Structure 1
């Protein structure tokens, strides 16, 4: 048996795992990382804090595994698409008005650059075709422009290295300044596969007043671009190896964004043999990576342009295939917000703790009891009079409108645990309707979405899972290995080690098997009605905005 390390830097924690060549997670270690929010819509982190957590979790995962460090064949990293700013010596540069160098990361979910994104979109530059026609304020160009315009002397003039967080990790591990094709095409407007050409668009940067990025041969943003899974630098540096307790020189795979790692870890998974099901081609498999936010990933052999949906991104997951990426900016975070801001939350938290179960499991039981008491065929019917529009942090896809707000229709004076459970259920349904909205837009432009895979923390929530299956009417494969993102990261190290001839072979070999979940036809009519209400709600919001304007 061969072993690899996968490291995943999420929104609130770092996780490292030892993974076998058959895709089985042997051990996991987790450590929280700090988030600062100095003002509304600003979210920041510390690269020192992140790297410290990487080192600690790698050492802990290796110790837990009982595997000798000499048996680790390679290491792969994935991370959120946050922006790291360093000076010429690799030291932190402050990204906020306080000047504190502790915070040198502008997080993916930071929405400070709304005005900059609007001005970039007003250029209608050709590169915007490859981000759904509209650049998101969560991408790097708007954030970079914000830093230049608002923190010129304290940040912009000092910045020498601008990294996407996954590329920062491989730099820390190897000393190599190479960048991942995944990070650059998805978040930095790097052109790949476009008319057979790869490279930065100097004209684009000039039009948006970021011409300084292409000075000195684009050294600030990357001159060496490598496909995911390819060997990075000369392998793990001596310094990083000593920090982590690993062998210097082991291969380090070029990184992926976390959602892309989840897609890679899922797409090779097949239903267990006892299930009679013909798995569709890889280009018909939609992967839902469900955590703080949700990403909807599908690959295709051709460019497919879906307005308001990110991509197509060339070779961002697998070589030669175009990735289309839908997304919802807040899903797990929204569920937590609805639950934890409710007056009955302390009672729910205490009850769940007393029974030593997850709060979601306790709430799911409350829903089952309510449905039984009301003699309903399905608990989904509990929300007949309660409707939610879920864009409390703007809409990423398919409307691509960061100004949209959340809406709740059907409120009463009730504020007990049962009311909390209903709002929780209506929130989950709204998130599922958002996924259906994205799927409809994908299909409308020619993508064949035939089956869903689900990974991430929310896959453990049975109501969340079943709601998505019933709303979309699609079968869903739930991988037996719950940690698909970590497996995907480990695949990068496996590919870099040359134990597999390609990333696709690593994906197919390490993908494992899973359970297939089929939709319920009895709930389809109810969800169709709720979906109609869902679409009406955003139209109503636009009417109200027009009146107030």
Structure 2
């Protein structure tokens, strides 16, 4: 019998409440805030959070990229910095937070290569037009360095063992090697940064680099690993014809640890903002900058400490006693156009086709591995784009005032009823969809992989599109299972998957992920902002000592004294109305197409302690019985919500689209809510700080700020859908490996044919 679907999509009331989950939140401390900055492929974002991890403001601004020649994709670091400044100032303006009360800032960005002149500290052109110095970033997705990548991997150097067995064309050294042979004058006057490290350099003037960027993308092997004494391998760099990178103790790459350079784990202190950076960002020179990470790793920071009632997670937390070891076994799936899968372990785990293991990149002494799917969000968009029914779907979805994916979910519900089939999984039982349209990143690491679909007909209706869309979702879930299983074979013990990104709203996809992998799926409090939220946590970690001093002195710290002497000059500068790079425009001159900003404080704290009526708990047997693939009952907070409750504010909270006026009087609002004074905060003593290593410090802040998550538990192993998905998984694996076998067979014949032609 088909389950009762009820006709509602994945964005029903209970699902949309998942942004803040209506759970009690601790009172915020009104004079301590942190800023996070995230630079993605297409936009820069910033958020501002309080000490409870509540986002009070969020802003986003698009950034451009240029493909002046096929596979040559570049960006402009000046444009990116200005976009960051715009977003930070917009967050301050919309939240009403005093810049002097922002104690820390953290950055994350894509793993893209930035070229800067050593002599001038100004951008250098990276081609194909080297005279254009504004285009000084080779974007991660730039594929110009194919020959250089092959040459590097042909060395078989030991360092390749720690990047999944081979260096990717997306990494930095192939790009640097390409620049050496094509840039006029070579790379004699060039220093190189991964984009996250460039942003901390821009903010502080420091040449400190992050283990995260150096180890994950530049071939750096941490000290002690494989007897590494410098991190960088002189022999390896000479073998790939890059002796310039060896000069002056690897100067162009940031030097060597504890000698000529500084390398930091996530959230370690880089320094304070320079006068120029503080002015451009709208902050103060007492704001402390945390060591940056690559964007996917910020997603790990922002999700894996989510509070959920899953017994094995609670047991693990109790055993680890507040250590970052608690995170081991929690897989972060940072989903967007593609998906990255990141997991931490105490010991190195080698998995073919999975990047890493990377030591020290998040915490000293711990290892991380990074798997990935080349296309997830892009796959679903592609399936819609190539189907003849796309135009009809667009019209139907628009007239129904829902998204295309919501309409497809509704269509699948109706098809189950109309065809009298057992469930939506059995509806697509004879569609065998293998979706590597853009190659395979993990676990077989084969860029030549392509899609194959068995079971297609000549049906060109919206109904057929709905089934094809379901099959694509099933592929994403089955491939996630494949990645997880390969990681577990390599020594990982993965217990739970922590998701982030817009795909979390798709109840169909989340249910498939749970049932295919057999793992609980955790949906975070901040679906859209998990990554930028993770960066803000890095700022909180870096500035913890400054905050503790402020608390201990009841607001009369050295920092406060310095800021008070600067305040009068700052006021004069503001009265002069000088325009600085990235300063937010007037609302009348900033079109919505170029910026979006949100004040979250009125949403989060507007109902006082109303959240105290809600509680955590597991699903009841009745809830489990009514589980379906669209309206996901979840373990976690059970909200007491009337059916006729207005959901407008809830929808705005989820999508960060609030149109409410900015409320400036945060401190007055805190007083009305009867919040505790700052002096009531428990002081963390210097002894506590010494006892905990930087990884445990990071975890402590993550646990404090991350907040509750929602859990989708997998169905019982005996459930008919689990059994059917298991059977189809065997077929999925055969489609995967048979394709490689077929290619080898025809390539062998073609090779023989070519040899025969040469002989004649």
Same fold (TM over 0.5): yes
RMSD (Å) for aligned C-alpha atoms: 2.1
Match of 2:741 in 1: 543
CA distance in 1, matches of 2:468, 2:78: 39
Cα offsets for 1:439-466 (capped at 9, x unmatched): 1111112210111111122222222212
**Secondary structure at 1:373's aligned position in 2?**
helix
Q: 1:460 to 1:158 in 2, by over 3 A?
A: farther
Q: Structure 1 residue 211: deviation in Å?
A: 2.0
Q: Structure 1 residue 470: deviation in Å?
A: 1.1
Q: 1:302 aligns with which of 341, 347, 353?
A: 347
Q: 1:94 to 1:348 in 2, by over 3 A?
A: farther
**Secondary structure at 1:219's aligned position in 2?**
helix
CA distance in 2, matches of 1:173, 1:426: 46
Q: 1:405 to 1:46 in 2, by over 3 A?
A: farther
Q: 1:33 to 1:376 in 2, by over 3 A?
A: farther
8 Å CA contact 2:108, 2:293 repeated in 1: yes
Q: Structure 1 residue 415: deviation in Å?
A: 2.6
CA distance in 1, matches of 2:494, 2:344: 10
Match of 2:296 in 1: 259
Match of 1:362 in 2: 407
8 Å CA contact 2:355, 2:370 repeated in 1: yes
8 Å CA contact 1:132, 1:311 repeated in 2: yes
CA distance in 1, matches of 2:171, 2:424: 38
8 Å CA contact 2:112, 2:140 repeated in 1: yes
Q: Deviating runs (4+, > 4 A) in structure 1?
A: 195-198, 275-278
Q: 1:252 to 1:277 in 2, by over 3 A?
A: same
Match of 1:63 in 2: 93
CA distance in 2, matches of 1:405, 1:143: 26
Match of 1:479 in 2: 524
Match of 2:212 in 1: 182
Match of 1:416 in 2: 461
Q: Structure 1 residue 244: deviation in Å?
A: 1.8
Match of 2:37 in 1: 7
Match of 2:702 in 1: 507
Once the two structures are superposed, the pairs formed by residues 269-284 of structure 1 within 5 Å of their partners are 269-271=306-308, 278-279=313-314, 280=316, 281-284=326-329
8 Å CA contact 2:188, 2:244 repeated in 1: no
CA distance in 2, matches of 1:147, 1:402: 23
- Structure 1 residue 98 and structure 2 residue 143: aligned? no
8 Å CA contact 1:87, 1:158 repeated in 2: no
CA distance in 2, matches of 1:528, 1:13: 39
Cα offsets for 1:207-236 (capped at 9, x unmatched): 122222122322222122122211113x11
Match of 1:118 in 2: 150
Once the two structures are superposed, the pairs formed by residues 168-247 of structure 1 within 5 Å of their partners are 168-193=198-223, 194=225, 195=227, 197=229, 199-223=231-255, 224-233=262-271, 235-247=272-284
- Structure 1 residue 468 and structure 2 residue 506: aligned? no
Match of 1:129 in 2: 161
Q: 1:337 aligns with which of 376, 382, 387?
A: 382
CA distance in 2, matches of 1:387, 1:40: 33
Q: Structure 1 residue 363: deviation in Å?
A: 2.3
CA distance in 2, matches of 1:97, 1:163: 19
Q: 1:529 aligns with which of 706, 723, 727?
A: 727
TM-score (norm 1): 0.93
Cα offsets for 1:250-272 (capped at 9, x unmatched): 10101011111111111211215
8 Å CA contact 1:3, 1:19 repeated in 2: yes
Match of 2:644 in 1: none
Cα offsets for 1:505-543 (capped at 9, x unmatched): 111211211112101232212222222222222233223
**Secondary structure at 2:409's aligned position in 1?**
helix
User: What 5-or-longer segments of structure 1 have no aligned partner?
Assistant: none
Report which of the two structures shows the higher radius of gyration computed on alpha carbons.
2
CA distance in 2, matches of 1:426, 1:38: 36
Q: Structure 1 residue 196: deviation in Å?
A: 7.2
User: What 5-or-longer segments of structure 2 have no aligned partner?
Assistant: 1-28, 256-261, 317-325, 549-688, 690-696, 751-760
Once the two structures are superposed, the pairs formed by residues 408-447 of structure 1 within 5 Å of their partners are 408-447=453-492
- Structure 1 residue 492 and structure 2 residue 538: aligned? yes
CA distance in 2, matches of 1:361, 1:297: 29
Answer with 129-138 or 332-341: which moved more: 332-341
Q: Structure 1 residue 277: deviation in Å?
A: 6.1
Q: 1:111 to 1:531 in 2, by over 3 A?
A: farther
8 Å CA contact 2:145, 2:178 repeated in 1: yes
Q: Structure 1 residue 393: deviation in Å?
A: 2.3
**Secondary structure at 2:270's aligned position in 1?**
coil
